[in-house]
């Protein structure tokens, strides 16, 4: 009998993962830190049009691009004369499962079906589980969703519980686990025991699925305005959202700055039992956004296809209170009730709009559905029950895990820029830790691509670490 102890299963992780995604990652390795990213991305041999056709079969994609005229008016009321860029949103909540993640799920499930897998498995507490379950139902495949749902006292976040309900509604088996290393171990066990497909967020299939989102933005905006937008803002967690969108824009020749945004949860550890329920966002926050930006290969596949620092022009951070405020503003000014995580980039757009000319245009590249547990009022009520102080004031004074400060006025919403060179240096530092020794010239070129920096910067960063 196979040894199923924690140590034994973890020692087989690479073999389990390779067998479960239909990809041999060794084909793209150099033996060092560098690997052939672009060849990995073309491994599925799907063109952009073919991906769109597959998604259409699942009822996914071709979501509307909507101008938020009232949100723009509010931004202009907070701006100096002549300022206040127009704000548009790609309404991805119109996908069958209610989020942009249906795009990556559709292609992943289609690949599982094509390769002959009988079912799909995904480990996620978020919208992706619902997306995989929805697509699996349409494809006639079985589905297991693993959630990191509870703390050690059995208390679960309302947002995660809401998402479990949606997964089960689509026919998936949902396994709810407590926070900690148990999730990945159980995930590997199920993959090995079932021989099912790993519908990971980080395979080439998942990222190719999101490329259609970027392509649609370019196409739809050109049809509306006859030109390209001036900025695209993406909520950033594991990096796939930004990576796929940027690649899709690039494939249509749309040269536009792509900006990342996350909710500030600094000081809260995502794997801490005591801190698990002290946060009011389960995705789109710095607990995922910063680590995955500075080292993408910490996911459930040997090499992540989500590599956001390659495509990120700037990175902005918002407080929880700011995002909750703009969530309610979207509902009351535009009649669009959408989940808070997808509104992180809208809060950033609202802030950045005020420093841009009125003839400029910002695209917020996704929304997500809301529901009983995902609703911002449910999140705020849960936070209050956990002893979080909720009040109006200056969001800059908010301390995650202690309080949520809603802006006293819209002018208080101010996205905070991050130091991009610090993120680049952090990625290089992590690469050197993972791959000790003197980097080769191939490694140097790879790090230049990974950090979107020149060779002088990369060599100086390496020198400072050695």
Strand partners, 123: 146
Number of alpha helices (DSSP H) and beta strands (DSSP E) in the chain: 18, 13
| 102-157 pLDDT tens trace | 999 999 999 999 999 999 999 987 799 999 999 999 999 999 999 988 888 989 88
DSSP 8-state secondary structure symbol assigned to residue 106: H
Q: Are 148 and 122 in contact (CB under 8 A)?
A: no
Which pLDDT does position 43 carry in this prediction?
87
What's the confidence (pLDDT) of residue 341? Answer: 85
Q: What pLDDT, on the 0 to 100 scale, is given for residue 14? A: 83
% residues pLDDT > 90 (the chain):
82
Q: What is the spatial distance between Cα 118 and Cα 140, in angstroms, rounded to a whole number?
A: 9
User: Angle at the Cα of 105 (from 102 to 109), degrees rounded to 5?
Assistant: 140
pLDDT band at 31 (very low <50, low <70, confident <90, very high): confident
Q: Residue 342 pLDDT more than 90?
A: no
What pLDDT score does 66 carry? 98
The partner residues of 198 in beta bridges, in order of sequence, read: 121
Lowest pLDDT segment from 179-183, 384-388, 398-402, 458-462:
179-183
The predicted model gives 25-46 an average pLDDT of: 92
CA distance 220 to 348: 22
Least confident of 125-134, 209-218, 346-355: 125-134
| Model confidence pLDDT, tens digit, residues 61-104 | 999 999 999 999 999 999 999 999 999 999 999 999 999 999 99
How big is the chain by its Cα radius of gyration, in Å? Answer: 21
Confidence of residue 17 (pLDDT cuts 50, 70, 90): confident
pTM, two decimal places: 0.96
pLDDT-derived band at 413 (thresholds 50, 70, 90) equals very high
The yes-or-no verdict on residue 56 having pLDDT over 90 is yes
**What per-residue confidence (pLDDT) applies to 181?**
75
Sheet order of strands, 197-198 included: 173-178, 142-150, 119-123, 197-198
**pLDDT (mean) for 384-399:** 96
Name the average pLDDT for the chain.
Answer: 94
Residue 424 banded pLDDT, cuts 50, 70, 90: very high
Q: How far is CA 88 from CA 19, 129, 349, 353, in A?
A: 42, 27, 9, 11
């Amino acid at each position: 009998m196979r040894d199923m102890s924690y140590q034994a299963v973890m020692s087989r992780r690479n073999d389990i993962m390779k067998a479960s995604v239909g990809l041999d990652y060794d084909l793209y390795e150099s033996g060092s830190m560098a690997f052939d990213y672009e060849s990995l991305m073309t491994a599925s041999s799907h063109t952009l049009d073919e991906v769109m056709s597959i998604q259409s079969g699942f009822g996914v994609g071709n979501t509307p691009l909507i101008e938020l005229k009232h949100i723009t008016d509010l931004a202009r009321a907070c701006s100096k004369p002549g300022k206040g860029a127009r704000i548009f949103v790609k309404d991805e909540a119109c996908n069958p499962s209610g989020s942009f993640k249906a795009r990556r799920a559709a292609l992943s499930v289609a690949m599982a079906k094509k390769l002959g897998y009988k079912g799909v498995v995904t480990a996620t507490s978020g919208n992706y589980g619902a997306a995989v379950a929805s697509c699996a139902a349409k494809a006639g495949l079985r589905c297991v969703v693993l959630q990191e749902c509870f703390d050690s006292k059995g208390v679960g976040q309302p947002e995660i519980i809401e998402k479990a309900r949606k997964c089960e509604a689509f026919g998936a088996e949902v396994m709810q686990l407590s926070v900690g290393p148990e999730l990945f171990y159980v995930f590997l066990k199920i993959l090995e025991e079932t021989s099912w497909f790993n519908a990971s967020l980080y395979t080439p299939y998942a990222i190719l699925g999101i490329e259609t989102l970027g392509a649609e933005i370019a196409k739809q905006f050109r049809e509306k305005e006859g030109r390209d937008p001036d900025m695209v803002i993406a909520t950033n967690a594991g990096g796939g959202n930004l990576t796929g969108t940027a690649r899709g824009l690039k494939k249509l020749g749309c040269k536009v700055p792509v900006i990342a945004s996350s909710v500030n949860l600094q000081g809260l550890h995502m794997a801490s039992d005591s801190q698990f329920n002290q946060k009011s966002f389960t995705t789109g926050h710095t607990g995922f956004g910063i680590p995955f930006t500075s080292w993408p290969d910490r996911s459930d596949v040997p090499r992540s296809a989500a590599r956001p620092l390659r495509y990120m022009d700037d990175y902005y951070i918002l407080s929880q209170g700011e995002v909750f405020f703009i969530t309610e503003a979207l509902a009351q000014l535009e009649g669009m009730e959408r989940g808070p995580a997808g509104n992180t980039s809208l809060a950033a757009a609202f802030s950045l709009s005020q420093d841009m000319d009125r003839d400029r245009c910002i695209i917020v590249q996704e929304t997500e559905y809301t529901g009983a547990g995902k609703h911002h009022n449910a999140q705020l009520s849960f936070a209050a029950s956990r002893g979080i102080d909720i009040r109006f004031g200056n969001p800059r004074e908010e301390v995650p895990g202690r309080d949520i400060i809603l802006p006293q006025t819209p002018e208080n919403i101010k996205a905070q820029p991050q130091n991009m060179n610090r993120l680049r240096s952090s990625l290089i530092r992590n690469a050197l830790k993972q791959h000790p020794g003197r980097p080769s010239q191939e490694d140097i070129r790879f790090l230049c691509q990974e950090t979107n920096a020149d060779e002088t910067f990369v060599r100086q960063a390496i020198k400072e670490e050695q």
